[in-house]
Structure 1
Amino acid sequence: MSLLLGSLLLLGLCGNTVSGGQPSTTDAPRTWNYELPETNYETQDSYKAGPIGILYRIVHIFLYVVQPRAFPEDTLRKVTQKKFQLSTNFDKPENVLLFLKVVYYELGIIVCALLGVLFIILMPLVGYFFCMCRCCNKCGGELHQRQKESGPFLRKCFAISLLVICIIISVGIFCGFVANHQVRTRVKRSRKLADSNLKDLRALLNETPEKIKYILAQYNTTKDRAFSDLNNINSLLGGGIREQLRPTVIPVLDEISTMATAIKETKEALENMNVSLHNLSNKSAQLNSSLWNKKQTMQQSLSDPVCMVQPTQETCNSIRMSLRQLESNPMLDQLPFVDTELNMVNNILRTNLDGLIQKGYQSFNDIPETVKSQTTNVIAGVKSVLNSIGSEVDNVTQNIPVQNTLSDFAVYLNVTESYIQRSLPKLEEYDSYWWLGGLVICSLLTLIMIFYCLGLLCGVCGYDRHATPTSRGCVSNTGGVFLMVGVGLSFLFCWILMIIVVLTFVVGVNMEKLVCEPYSSRELFRVLDTPYLLNDNWEYYLSGMLFNKSQIRLTFEQVYSDCKKNKGIYASLHLENSFNISEHLNIKDRTRSIDSEFDNMNINVNVVLLVDAGKRNLQDFADCGIDKINYATYLAQTDKSPANVNLVSFADDLSAKADQMPSGLLKQSLKKDANDIRGIHQQQVLPMEQSLSTLYQSVKVLQRISSKLKENVNRSLNSLESAQNFVTNNISSVIVEETKKYARTIIGYFEHYLQWVEYSVSEKLASCKPVATALDSAVDVFLCSNIIDPLNLFWFGIGKSTVLLLPALIFAVKLAKYYRRMDSEDVYDDVETIPMKNMENGNYGYHKDHLYGIHNPVMTSPSQR
């Protein structure tokens, strides 16, 4: 069923070829991946026999013993090509050799079959003569048992042997029942298996149009991504150009911007320095006057008569000696002003250097917008080309004859499904006949075993070792009768059973060795792929049937393997020989027009980092003269105090000395002078110290800026010149490089898409895995697993049981003598132990050691026999 379905599927798909091709390698970006929606199929890929698989493996081991030879590929090829004919071609040596090869391969099967035929012929004859012999009171037909010393031992051996054989036969019968049941249950499952395969094949039919729609829909995704990049050409292409120039441009502009900041800092430092110098000059004269006046006042106070008296005189003299310290720093008045340098810097700042630098930044940052404004027409042209590619892809995809092929195959599928629906009831009916026949066969063997087992049971249980052969009990005698009934049934049916075993053996073994095993190992496909095997004019049958070009290497094994890997029909059947999708979806033809559009792109970008006025401004700053200022002089004065002495300490010391004097005008005057000195420090010295601190900071700033000022300015100007030259000379190549990269990105989207379309159509579209699964279901599951394996298990079990009936009936005949009631028995002469025959009761006495002789048997009625 499924085999026919799979063949029709392949032929149906071959009727109208589906196009496809192998994907070509490309540098397309992998920013995202397309994936065709996966289809979940219902039918399982693999089949497991379950626990009964152990029995199947035992049978396979036996088959290997019977037929250990490898699959005869060459012999089968020659037989298939009709190079050997049994009736007419024996005159050719090669045909005789071929016949011998066939016989050699089938030797094990032939030997076993001949043994079976011999069994079939001999068993009825032996049974016939055995029956006739017993009717003549021969072959054990005489109901007389000769007493032997080994009699009990032989009885036990016969019983045990028969029991063991019965157990082995029962195992074979069990295998027969199991195999018979497996055939019935698995044939019933065939409907479900067929429905599952048909469902998967219909899923294949239904999913293909949906996948084609999905493939076409992905073009819009690709186009939207490309259009988004085209609309953002300012950030992608312009931004790329800007990023290429950034390492050269931005550091230079930042350095010049630092120079502009330095000019501002210089102006501020010069202004602060000038202010501080003016403050120090004015306040230094004021401090000098205040200290001189205070010295005069204190000298007048020290002329007081109190200073003439000890010990006040010493204190006054000490104060008088310290007055010389009350002087200001005379160098603060002599520090030169920086008005000239400040005026030069102010002249420099009249040129808005910051504005010029910002124009340089703006010129650099405007590159993306410049690119966008200059590429409007090119972008419109590229979009038009991309729209046309979408139409061409749609046309190519629609021209692939998938729909027609699927329609034709749907007709084949419907016909096959109708055939299966009609055939399954007949198959189930035939299976019921087979099941009933197998049940009868197993039941016959079971019946024989029942008689043997009942005979053993009754014989063992009813046997009395003290009873004489003629006085055995009814139970024991019944056991013997049962054994003889089993023997009779064995002779009656065993040859019929062997006929069935031989027939099923020959069919089952050859099907297993010539179909099932080579199918699993794919050797059968290699035979079918033999050149000129199925058609004398075609080297390869499939390629001849598909393309009428038999030299194309397209094999059954390759198609089956590709379908097992879930490849598409296009790649599996090499349909590029009929419709080459690579030619219809030529990526280079589709992208060449996009390249030409980008080649026509003309972008002019003019980046001016700094105009000449800004350069002159920087040069003027280098010549402003701040590097010629004697900063050491200023720094030396900033480390000194405005007064020669610490006025606060001086005032504290003066107050302490005033406290040592007696109360009076002098003491009060000195106290007042100490407070005045503190006031001078607070009002004049502290502001001057603040001015000195500001002067120090300004000098440090100017010293830092002026250090190697000309070198720094010249280096900045050189860097600026170098960067400007690089931008001017290389911006064209940068634009070309970034344009190619940008174009490659846009083209890459469609190369990636077209490559995916080609790959999907060739490898994934209409994947033929359901075909391989249907073929596996037909051959491996239905034929081999559901029919051949149970069939082989059936003849294996029944055949083993039938063969063992031969030793079983021998032991049963031997054992029946020990259980049945005899008509006569041996007499032993041993009067001391056992009396002689008592004629009144008809019993015979016997002794186990001394055999005297045999008396005429006491005749019994036929019923007693």
Structure 2
Amino acid sequence: MGLCESIRGWPWQGSAAVFRAGVGVLLLGLSLAQSVPPRATCPAAAAPHSLTQPHYQDTAGEGTIVGFMAALVQSFLRTVQPNPFPKDLILKIVKDIDQVQSNQELIKETLVYQVGFLVCVAIGVLYIVLMPIVGFFLACCRCCGNCGGKMYQKQTSSIHCRRRTLYWSALITTVIILAGNICMFKSNEALNVSVDQSPVELNKTIDNINTFLSAVPQQVDYVVNESYKTVQEVTRNLDGIGSQLGTEIQERFRGTLDPALRSVRLLDQETISTNVKLDKLNSSLTQLQSSMDRLQANVTAVKNQINQTLSNAKCINCSALNPELQKLTLGTSISSPSLNGLQSAVDNINKTNLKSTIKEVEDYFNSIPQRVTNETKDVVQNSKQLLGDIEKQISQVTNDIPLSALTNVSGTLDQVQREIGRVTPEVERAEQIRWGVGLLLCCVVLLVVVCNLLGLVLGPLGLTSKADPTKRSCTADCGGTFFMMGAGFSFLFCWLFMIVVLVLFLLGGNIYSLLCQPWNNGQLLELIDTPDLIPGLEIGPALGLKTNISIPDVYRDCEKNQPLWTTLHLYEIVNLEDLLNVSKYTEQIQQYFEDSDITLSTITLLSPEVKSQLSSLSSTAQDFDSTAITQQLNNISSINLNTTADELDKLANHQKDNNIKNELQNEARDLRLIQSDIETTITPQLENLNSTIRSLRSTVEKINGTVGEVLSDVEVAQDFLNTNTTQIVETESRKFLDCQLHYFVVYADWANLTITQQVGRCGPVAGAVDSVEIILCSHMVESLNAFWFSLGWCMIFFIPSIILSIKLAKYYRRMKYSDAYDDRIIMNHIPRPQMKFT
């Protein structure tokens, strides 16, 4: 038996070079990874987890409810200012900011653009000027008894109709003023809530931006750290190349070797069992032979005594027993030539020690992982050094992406947040004052409404249609007085309130037209994106891009929650494909493996000498015949001395000489005693021998088939090793390499997808812009515009309210002078002319 022969004796002498090339491609041949699909049997690597997006606070956003008067106020402002957003005009003003006052054309263009507001301002100024003048002259006229100042009411047939008409007109006017007053209260409170909540909302918005800015570097670091995990995974696989690659090679060999080893083990067990049974059979035969020799001696002694007795002349008819006496023998000779040949063949097999052969084969294949580890030690070490270069190359992603700009923005936002915290108490105090002033204005308007309502209630309540105007009740007189009070308060405060309306109209209206509306439709962002308008705002040059990026484009992308990779065109400054492609290390690693000498030895399963001995055992087992020894045992078992003893007893009965008779009887008794000894000693031994022979025959019959199976399986296994080892090593090496490459492919695809589609989803940035716009425009400006619009609404309806109140008051107040009126026809006596006769 030849064991552990050199690999150069095998027909796969080129497998070492194949193995070197295969392991050389293992580590970083990413260029081949695209064309070599990973096997489904690859051990699962540590798959990168999905990128976790940060949690953002809820802020004012798309779910914000539009103000209750927004549509009405915005419709009015669009009517006042129908002109489009004056982008060019604003740019001219910004560029010539120092010479705006001296540029008449620019001033004229500005006034033309604001013509709608100017018309409204003119109307407001006219209101402010005329209302106190009209009130002053009206008061003077009434003091002089004019303009209804004289406490006299002419009674006509249409007085009640006119009173009812004035009453309902005054009621409708008062209701309209009351509706405007309610809108004033509501908008004043809404503005107060908006101002109070604005610092909180702004801080939430800034916190969200800071969360976004801090999350982007963390996400990039996470992607880079996942590359470290991949490199570490491949490093661990390289460190365990023996246990992984060697075990796979073992398993491929075991598929063919296991049947061969199993049959050899079975043959070893059967030869051992056969040897044990042969030993037992030989021992039993020896014991049987000893017993037979002892019994044969006893039979010979009894036979000699019988001969002496039969030779006595006194013995009657004794000569007739001589033929029977000649048969008196046990036949003690037991022999089996085939048994000796089988014993010799089994002994030869036992000398070869099949267990030792099996252990040598198992030890050899168990040592394959360690052999692979030893042969690839230097190459693995060099490859692990190159894995460190891969880590450095991939970590370059962090340096190439301009994350420092995010840190600068975060610092600015922190400063803004501190400034908000500093001015918030002052804003709250100012808002309390503003809220108080607004509440006072609402209450004054409410006072006029209350006076009108009291007049509308008390006047009709105390009025009697047929009563004399000078005798009207106190209730009706109070109603008329309240009408006059309402008109007086209206004249007193309306022009002051109109000043407030005019100021807030100019402020809120222009903020909506020049800020909120263009902010909402994107024109403001286009203005801000104008080159050189705000120095240092060019995003492209700031990031080192070849092309500039417009702010509206960034906003639109962020509205769609796009990643920074596409939003900021980072692909212009970061070559992600190059950073994630490490195929340039392939040639160097291949060179490492080509310079190494990886060899594996092989083994011969069974030597020709052992095969010859197995063939001899098979032939001997086939020729083994237990018939001869079985026949000898059957002959022994057929011995019956009782027959001769019975003949002696019969002969003794015919003897007259008592001595002869006694001797014959004694000799018959001795034969029966010997027969009894045969039955008690020899018969069990014979049964045991027959059982052993049957078991041996069964085992020997199996040996022939087992030996054939061993020779067949060993031949197949040996041919498999001789012809397929090269292919097995190459296939398993390629499989091992493909698995390692698959880890890099998976990581590269994941990293590319994550950086280009998940890192820095800038939805929070657009959300922050929208939140600020909602806080400023949808909440504060909208509430402010609703307030001045409601106040202006009330001031406009103060005019008909004053007129109707003054006119309606005379119908309820108590007059000083009466005017009698009767609807019956008054017949005056017309004197007839008298005729005088002379």
Asked whether the two chains share a fold, i.e. TM above 0.5, the reply is: yes
1:159-189 deviation per Cα after TM superposition (whole angstroms, max 9, x unaligned): 6775565455434323323322343454355
Q: Which moved more, 1:348-357 or 1:422-431?
A: 422-431
Aligned ranges for residues 21-420 of structure 1 at < 5 Å?
30-33=45-48, 44-47=58-61, 53=65, 56-62=66-72, 120=127, 124=131, 143-144=152-153, 146=155, 151=160, 155=164, 166=174, 169-194=177-202, 225-272=233-280, 338-390=339-391, 397=398, 402-403=403-404, 405=405, 409=409, 412=412
Shift of 1:689: 3.7
1:820, CA displacement in angstroms?
A: 1.9
Decide whether aligned partners of structure 1 residues 371 and 806 sit closer, same or farther in structure 2, where only a CA change above 3 A counts.
Answer: same
Instruction: Output one character per residue of 1:244-281: Cα deviation in whole Å (capped at 9) or x when no partner.
Output: 43333334333333333333334345555666677789
Q: 1:118 to 1:202 in 2, by over 3 A?
A: closer
Gaps of 5+ in 1: 1-24, 84-98, 295-328, 648-671, 830-849, 855-865
The answer to whether the 8 A contact 1:276-1:692 is kept is no
Which of the residues 777, 781, 806 maps onto 1:784? 777
**Residue 705 to residue 815, structure 1, CA distance change in 2 (3 Å):** farther
> SS at 1:606's partner residue?
coil
In the TM superposition, 1:673-692 aligns within 5 A as 684-692=682-690
Whole-Å separation in 1 of the counterparts to 2:291 and 2:808: 152
Task: Please show how residues 554-703 of structure 1 align to structure 2 within 5 Å.
Answer: 554-560=549-555, 572-578=567-573, 580=575, 583=578, 586-589=581-584, 593-594=588-589, 597=592, 602-608=597-603, 610-613=605-608, 616=611, 619-620=614-615, 623-629=618-624, 684-703=682-701
Please report how far the alpha carbon of residue 524 of structure 1 lies from its aligned counterpart in structure 2 after TM superposition: 4.2
Match of 2:815 in 1: 822
Return the alpha-carbon distance in structure 1 between the equivalents of residues 507 and 800 of structure 2: 27
1:716 to 713, 716, 723: 713
Report how many residues are paired.
716
Q: Is the 8 A contact 2:267 2:707 kept in 1?
A: no
8 Å contact from structure 2 (residues 245, 736) kept in 1: yes
Unaligned runs of 5+ in 2: 1-32, 39-43, 94-108, 303-329, 643-669, 828-838
Residue identity opposite 1:816 in structure 2: A
Alignment partners' CA distance in 2, 1:718 and 1:525:
88
> Matched residue of 1:605: which SS?
coil
Equivalents in 2 of 1:638, 1:145: separation in Å? 168
Rounded Cα–Cα distance in structure 2 between residues aligned with 1:785 and 1:392: 50
**Higher RCO (C-alpha 8 Å, min separation 6):** 2
Q: Tell me if the contact between 1:459 and 1:819 (Cα under 8 Å) persists in the aligned partners.
A: yes
Is the Cα–Cα contact under 8 Å of residues 169 and 800 in structure 1 kept in the other structure?
Answer: yes
Q: Which residue of 1 aligns with 2:659?
A: none
2:454 match: 454
Q: Kindly provide the CA deviation profile for residues 204-255 of structure 1, in whole angstroms up to 9, marking residues without a partner as x.
A: 7777888888787777766655544333332133223333433333343333
TM-score of the pair, normalised by structure 1:
0.64
Amino acid at match of 2:246: G
Give the deviation of 1:497 after TM superposition: 4.6
Q: Offset of 1:610 from its aligned partner?
A: 0.5
CA contact (8 A) 2:483 2:809 kept: yes
Q: 1:734 matched to which residue of 2?
A: 731
Contact 2:606 2:714 in 1 (8 A): no
Deviation, structure 1 residue 356: 1.5
Q: Which residue identity does 2:734 align to in structure 1?
A: E
Change (3 A) 1:334 1:803: farther
CA contact (8 A) 1:283 1:688 kept: no
Summarize the Cα distance change of 1:797–1:738 in structure 2 as closer, same or farther, 3 Å threshold.
Answer: same
The structural deviation recorded for 1:679 is 8.7
Cα deviations by residue, 1:762-808 (Å, 9 ceiling, x for unpaired): 77888867755553443332x12442221233234334444554565
Taking the aligned partners of 1:202 and 1:67, their CA distance within structure 2 comes to: 37
The one-letter code of the counterpart of 1:358 is K
**In 2, are the aligned partners of 1:172 and 1:797 still within 8 Å (CA)?**
yes
Alpha-carbon distance in 2 for matches of 1:80, 1:348: 110
In the alignment, the residues of structure 1 paired with residue 201 and residue 369 of structure 2 have an alpha-carbon distance, to the nearest angstrom, of: 65
1:477 is the counterpart of 2:466: no
The whole-number CA distance in structure 2 between the counterparts of 1:644 and 1:67 is 141
Check the 8 A contact 2:526/2:552 in 1, yes or no.
no
Cα 1:377–1:212, aligned 2, differ >3 Å: closer, same or farther? same
**Change over 3 Å in CA distance of 1:623–1:548 after alignment to 2:** closer
Give the partner amino acid of 1:699.
R
Distance apart, 1:141 and its partner CA: 7.0
Partner of 2:17: none
Task: Supply the distance in 2 between the matched residues of 1:561 and 1:194 (Cα, whole angstroms).
Answer: 22
Distance 1:274 1:772 in 2: 101
Which residue of structure 2 lines up, in the alignment, with residue 651 of structure 1? none
